[in-house]
């Protein structure tokens, strides 16, 4: 079972380290609340002083001091709370980024980049609003409500009972509103995330959408997503909006009852006018705090629902949680008298969700040389590379790297053994230099970078960019598909790993670039294990071993000439030109 304790600790750490700010906010909150509670009593004393002509200056000064404490205290309290909230959001965002980058690839893809982006932006802004209420207004409002009701109890318990009766009627309606508030807030955020996800996918597929004249279809689909977000937003908004008028209605009922009952009690002599005046001041003063409490609890419930979307990520098992490395496996340089292949599959099976992809595959790739994986599209070739990198874990069987099962490697050590170039030759929106040095643990000079770029025929292209190696890709500067593949290959060369995995590395290279790539590959294969998914015959023919994969199983192994003789599928692939390149030579060889 995956160990989720690290995620729980990470979640808790977001709240730590701000104890001083919390204490400061608490002290300021108490001072401001005390000043607010003292204000009506001071006003009552000033009224009495004006009537008697005694201590008028004193109570004027007291009122002025209380006003200064309230004004200055509120400003300081708001500043401290804003700092607390922003630091909390910063830590939450950083924790999200930290955790997401360490989740299994399949987990991230299942959630979707748009959804994760929405959590990092829209969800955090919604949570920021909840923190403003929960950390800022709600504590002070609760103190004011409790203190004011205590003062009202001291002045007249009967009038307090009348007050609470009016507020209780409003509380029944508010309780009903609360029941659906958390649900509607969560639904709204989920619908927003779905719309963001759909929009991100549409933009990534924009050339295809345009070529198929499908703008209207995609537009309609996205509009349906935003309409669902609108409906859930309206549901959340009306529940939230009703809290304030319902609270005000309770206050009006209380005020009317207090005036009527208070007048009767003055008539029978059980209450004096000064006490009734002070009580009414407290009642008017408590309206705003009660409204804040009602609204604040609603916002907190919404915030808790949104926080749950973050906890889903923070507590999800990482790649490291999925395997327990053995001590012996963490040292890739350990001595072993038994020779081991660089990569080995032993009756490996794998399925995406409930869809089988690999079925009991077994083959080995030597420590030096080229092992080519060929077969029809969808045969499972790219999945095999993902299993070596431990992007996915086999359902059964065993994948080994340098004689050690991939589950037993410490993940950083495993990936230090491997350079991986995916089908898209993925680059970051960063400088050429940083793309080349991504994951490189050693110091590399500019001269070495240029030398490796020259090896892949890219030195002149990069030299002509606006800032050379420091040109930021993706900000008005784009490389062609072939140039991206060559840059990704140069990055793999810099890694100097004993194993290189290449997923269709020549799919976008012209014949001149392909010849250059083939020479590089042959140089690397003299001392490294190269496992390449290839569709070009010019690459496959020179492989030390060719593994033919069909429908998730190995149906043939051998050299090009051997497989032409004994593998019907390989012969069909060659003759049918599914393996492209050097067609004339292919025909002669067949």
What tens digit of pLDDT does each residue of 226-266 get? 888 888 888 877 777 777 777 777 777 888 888 888 888 88
Which band of pLDDT confidence, cut at 50, 70 and 90, is reported for residue 331?
Answer: very low
User: In this model, does residue 586 exceed pLDDT 50?
Assistant: no
Distance between CA atoms of 120 and 86, rounded to whole angstroms? Answer: 14
What is the reported pLDDT for 493? Answer: 83
User: In this model, does residue 512 exceed pLDDT 70?
Assistant: no
Which band of pLDDT confidence, cut at 50, 70 and 90, is reported for residue 139?
Answer: confident
Three state DSSP letters for 249-291: HHHHHHHHHHHHHHHHHHHCCCCCHHHHHHHHHHHHHHHHHHH
- Output the six-digit token pair for 566: 């004994």
The alpha-helical segments, DSSP class H, found in 205-214 are 206-211
Q: Cβ distance 358 to 384 under 8 Å? A: yes
What is the reported pLDDT for 135? Answer: 67
Distance in angstroms between the alpha carbons of the first and the last residue of the chain: 52
What is the reported pLDDT for 530? Answer: 92
More confident residue, 329 or 249: 249
CA 140 to chain centre: 33
Q: CB neighbours (10 Å) of residue 145?
A: 18
- Output the six-digit token pair for 514: 């392909």
Q: Which of 17-21, 110-114, 498-502 has the lowest mean pLDDT?
A: 17-21
- Output the six-digit token pair for 471: 């040109």
Q: According to the per-residue pLDDT averaged within each range, which of 272-286, 342-356, 533-547 is highest?
A: 342-356
Among 39, 26, 127, 115, residue whose Cα is nearest residue 76: 26
More confident residue, 369 or 310: 369
| pLDDT (average), residues 174-197 | 77
Percent of the chain residues topping a pLDDT of 90: 11
Q: Which of 68-77, 150-159, 204-213 has the lowest mean pLDDT?
A: 204-213
User: In this model, does residue 112 exceed pLDDT 90?
Assistant: no
Q: Cβ distance 509 to 486 under 8 Å? A: yes
Distance between CA atoms of 564 and 586, rounded to whole angstroms? Answer: 10
Which band of pLDDT confidence, cut at 50, 70 and 90, is reported for residue 326?
Answer: very low
Q: Cβ distance 395 to 350 under 8 Å? A: yes
Which band of pLDDT confidence, cut at 50, 70 and 90, is reported for residue 337?
Answer: very low
Q: Which of 315-324, 375-384, 476-485, 506-515 has the lowest mean pLDDT?
A: 506-515
Among 271, 24, 261, residue whose Cα is nearest residue 135: 24
Percent of the chain residues topping a pLDDT of 70: 87
What is the secondary structure of 455-519 as a DSSP string? HTT-HHHHHTSTTGGGPBTTSS----HHHHHHHHHHHHHHH--SEEEEESTTTT--HHHHHHHHH
- Is the pTM here over 0.75, yes or no? no
Q: CB neighbours (10 Å) of residue 283?
A: 23
Q: Which of 58-72, 114-128, 179-193, 458-472 has the lowest mean pLDDT?
A: 179-193
Distance between CA atoms of 367 and 526, rounded to whole angstroms? Answer: 9
Among 526, 547, 235, residue whose Cα is nearest residue 388: 547
| pLDDT (average), residues 556-584 | 76
Task: Walk across the sheet containing 545-550 and list its strands.
Answer: 418-421, 499-503, 529-533, 369-374, 545-550, 553-558
Q: CB neighbours (10 Å) of residue 415?
A: 18
| pLDDT (average), residues 558-572 | 89
Helices 124-131 and 273-314 pack at an angle, to 10 degrees, of 150
Distance between CA atoms of 296 and 143, rounded to whole angstroms? Answer: 14
| pLDDT tens digits for range 30-41 | 888 788 878 877
| pLDDT (average), residues 131-155 | 79
Q: Which of 168-172, 204-208, 464-468, 573-577 has the lowest mean pLDDT?
A: 204-208
Which band of pLDDT confidence, cut at 50, 70 and 90, is reported for residue 333?
Answer: very low
Q: Which residues, at least 6 apart from 177, have a Cβ–Cβ distance to it below 8 Å?
A: 239, 242, 243, 246, 298
User: In this model, does residue 589 exceed pLDDT 50?
Assistant: no
Q: CA angle 533-534-535, nearest 5°?
A: 140
* All domains in the chain, ordered by first residue: 5-319 (1.20.1560.10), 340-589 (3.40.50.300)
Give buried/exposed letters for 420-455 (b at 16+ CB in 10 A, else e).
bbbeebebeeebbbebbbeeeeeeeeeeebbebbeb
User: In this model, does residue 571 exceed pLDDT 50?
Assistant: yes
What is the reported pLDDT for 370? Answer: 92
| pLDDT (average), residues 527-537 | 87
More confident residue, 370 or 45: 370
What is the reported pLDDT for 275? Answer: 78
| pLDDT tens digits for range 410-450 | 888 898 899 888 877 677 778 888 888 887 777 888 888 88
User: In this model, does residue 110 exceed pLDDT 50?
Assistant: yes
Give the largest CA-CA distance in the chain: 121
User: In this model, does residue 7 exceed pLDDT 70?
Assistant: no
Residue 43 exposure: Cα atoms within 13 Å on the Cβ side: 16
Distance between CA atoms of 399 and 346, rounded to whole angstroms? Answer: 6
Long-range contacts of 267-273 (CB under 8 A, 24+ apart): 271/156, 271/159
| pLDDT (average), residues 113-123 | 81
Which band of pLDDT confidence, cut at 50, 70 and 90, is reported for residue 90?
Answer: confident
Long-range contacts of 439-445 (CB under 8 A, 24+ apart): 439/415, 439/491, 439/495, 440/494, 440/495, 441/416, 444/494
Q: Torsion angle of alpha carbons 326, 331, 336, 340, nearest 10°?
A: 80
Q: Cβ distance 543 to 370 under 8 Å? A: yes
User: In this model, does residue 224 exceed pLDDT 80?
Assistant: yes
What is the secondary structure of 2-31 as a DSSP string? ---HHHHHHHHHTTTT-HHHHHHHHHHHHH
| pLDDT tens digits for range 343-386 | 999 999 999 877 889 999 999 999 999 999 998 888 889 899 99
Residue where the block lists tokens 């643990």: 441
Distance between CA atoms of 186 and 580, rounded to whole angstroms? Answer: 51
| pLDDT (average), residues 328-349 | 68
3-state helix, strand, coil in the chain (%, to 5): 65, 10, 25
Distance between CA atoms of 364 and 345, rounded to whole angstroms? Answer: 6
Which band of pLDDT confidence, cut at 50, 70 and 90, is reported for residue 273?
Answer: confident
| pLDDT (average), residues 550-567 | 90
What is the reported pLDDT for 378? Answer: 83
pLDDT averaged over every residue in the chain: 79
More confident residue, 490 or 325: 490
């Amino acid at each position: 079972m995956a160990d989720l304790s690290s995620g729980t600790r990470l979640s808790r750490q977001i709240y730590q380290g701000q104890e001083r700010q919390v204490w400061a906010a608490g002290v300021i909150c108490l001072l401001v609340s005390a000043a607010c509670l003292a204000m009506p009593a001071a006003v009552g004393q000033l009224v009495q002083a004006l009537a008697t002509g005694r201590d008028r200056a004193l109570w004027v000064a007291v009122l002025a001091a209380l006003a200064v404490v309230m004004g200055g205290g509120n400003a300081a309290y708001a500043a401290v709370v804003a700092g607390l909230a922003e630091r909390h959001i910063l830590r939450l965002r950083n924790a999200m980024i930290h955790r997401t980058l360490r989740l299994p690839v399949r987990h991230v893809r299942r959630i979707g980049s748009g959804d994760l982006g929405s959590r990092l932006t829209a969800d955090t802004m919604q949570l920021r609003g909840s923190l403003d209420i929960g950390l800022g207004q709600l504590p002070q409002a609760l103190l004011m409500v409790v203190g004011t009701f205590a003062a009202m109890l001291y002045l007249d318990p009967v009038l307090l009972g009348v007050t609470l009766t009016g507020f209780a009627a409003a509380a029944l309606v508010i309780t009903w509103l609360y029941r659906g508030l958390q649900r509607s807030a969560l639904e709204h955020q989920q619908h927003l995330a779905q719309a963001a996800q759909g929009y991100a996918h549409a933009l990534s597929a924009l050339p295809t959408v345009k070529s198929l004249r499908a703008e209207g279809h995609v537009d309609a689909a996205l509009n349906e997503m935003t309409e669902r977000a609108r409906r859930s937003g309206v549901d959340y908004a009306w529940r939230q909006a009703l809290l304030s008028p319902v609270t005000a209605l309770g206050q009006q009922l209380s005020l009317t009852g207090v005036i009527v009952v208070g007048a009767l009690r003055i008539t029978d002599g059980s209450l004096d006018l000064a006490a009734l005046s002070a009580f009414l001041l407290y009642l008017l003063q408590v309206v705003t705090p009660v409204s804040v409490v009602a609204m604040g609890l609603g916002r907190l419930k919404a915030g808790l629902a949104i926080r749950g979307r973050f906890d889903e990520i923070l507590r999800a098992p990482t790649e490291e949680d999925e395997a327990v490395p053995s001590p012996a496996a963490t040292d890739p340089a350990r001595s072993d008298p038994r020779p081991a292949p660089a990569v080995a599959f032993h009756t490996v099976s794998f399925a995406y969700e409930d869809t089988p992809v690999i079925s009991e595959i077994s083959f080995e790739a030597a420590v030096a040389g080229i092992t080519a994986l060929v077969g029809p599209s969808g045969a499972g070739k790219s999945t095999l590379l993902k299993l070596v990198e431990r992007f996915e874990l086999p359902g059964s069987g065993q994948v080994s790297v340098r004689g050690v099962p991939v589950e037993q490697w410490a993940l950083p050590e495993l990936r230090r053994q491997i350079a991986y170039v995916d089908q898209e030759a993925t680059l970051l929106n960063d400088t050429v230099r940083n793309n080349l040095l991504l994951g490189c643990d050693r110091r590399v000079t500019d001269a070495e970078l240029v030398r490796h770029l020259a090896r892949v025929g890219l030195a002149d292209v990069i030299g002509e960019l606006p800032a050379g190696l420091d040109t930021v890709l993706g900000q008005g500067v784009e490389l062609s598909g072939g140039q991206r593949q060559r840059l990704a290959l140069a990055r793999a060369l810099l890694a100097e790993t004993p194993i290189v995995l290449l997923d269709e590395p020549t799919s976008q290279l012209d014949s001149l670039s392909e010849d250059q790539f083939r020479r590089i590959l042959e140089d690397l294969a003299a001392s490294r294990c190269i496992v390449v998914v290839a569709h070009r015959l010019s690459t496959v023919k020179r492989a030390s071993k060719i593994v033919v994969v069909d429908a998730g199983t190995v149906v043939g192994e051998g050299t090009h000439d051997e497989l032409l003789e004994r593998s019907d599928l390989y012969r069909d692939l060659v003759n049918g030109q599914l393996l492209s390149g050097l067609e004339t030579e292919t025909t002669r060889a067949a």
